[in-house]
Amino acid sequence: MSHAVIELSDISYAFPGRGETLKGLTFHLHSGEKLGLFGPNGAGKSTMLHILMGLITPDKGEVTLFGASISNAKAFDAARLKIGFLFQHSDDQLFCPTVLDDVAFGPLNQGLSREQATERAREALETVGLAGFEDRVPHRLSGGEKKLVALATILSMRPEILVLDEPTTGLSPEAKDRLVDILKKLDMARLVVSHDPDFLAATTDRLLAMRDGRIQPGELKPHSHVHVHEEGDVPHQH
């Protein structure tokens, strides 16, 4: 069995003034693994992601990234450079005046030269099919384009793991399909949190359910549901 790259053991966390959001959560992601995470609103999915990125400090429990136990902010700084975290709202992630600056922001922080960072950025934009968008203004793009630029901003850092927090929120079916196509071509380990079973089935190999602050034992099997769209009576494929 391949080694675990993300390990959360016995994590508990309560937001100030509220009950426990996470109650002794344990979770593993192995290298090369593509996991989907499913669960109702308020189950603690986003909280778990923020804890594994070191944006929230858990009340109890241990975070182990790439085999090393992470206890302080400095250790997170290094580990974060290898985990690409896609935020739920692209507007939170994109803040630079141009698309190219935004995509090159991570590589520059990694210490690459300007030439290298620019090259990485162009490469990442090409991967998400947005070559030619370099000089556009991020906050004036469409929702779908913003999501793809946000994905490019983390791909340009060449992460070992992708962590996607509800990537399909607010996307049109076309934009969603585009995102699925891109993710299918990417080989790295990933953890996808989503409410969209079709999306999870298309982009991950294994599904876990989260409820009441814990990962539920057992695996989910995707199966198809009735859906509606124009010209649905014509035979077609998805």
| Binding footprint of another protein on the chain (CB under 8 A) | 50, 53-55, 77, 80-81, 83, 85, 87, 89, 91-93, 95-98, 100-101, 104-106, 108-110, 114, 117-118, 137, 139-140, 153-154, 157
Give min distance, CB of 111 to another protein, in A: 9
Please provide the DSSP assignment of 154-176 as one string.
HHTT--SEEEEESTTTT--HHHH
Give min distance, CB of 53 to another protein, in A: 6
Distance (Å) of CA 127 to CA 6, 120, 124, 178: 25, 11, 5, 11
Nearer to another protein, 118 or 203 (CB): 118
Nearer to another protein, 38 or 76 (CB): 76
Give min distance, CB of 63 to another protein, in A: 15
Cross-strand pairs, 215: 210
Nearer to another protein, 29 or 104 (CB): 104
Q: What values do phi and psi take at 188, rounded to 5?
A: -70, 160
Please identify which residue in the block is written with the tokens 């876990």: 208
- Closest listed residue to residue 171, CA positions, set 138, 201, 144, 194: 144
Structure tokens at 189: 């380990």
Nearer to another protein, 91 or 181 (CB): 91
Nearer to another protein, 35 or 117 (CB): 117
Cross-strand pairs, 20: 14
Q: What is the CA radius of gyration of the chain?
A: 18
Burial class of residue 44, CB neighbours in 10 A (0-12, 13-18, 19+): buried
Nearer to another protein, 18 or 236 (CB): 18
The amino acid occupying position 47 is T
User: Coil, strand, or helix at residue 22?
Assistant: strand
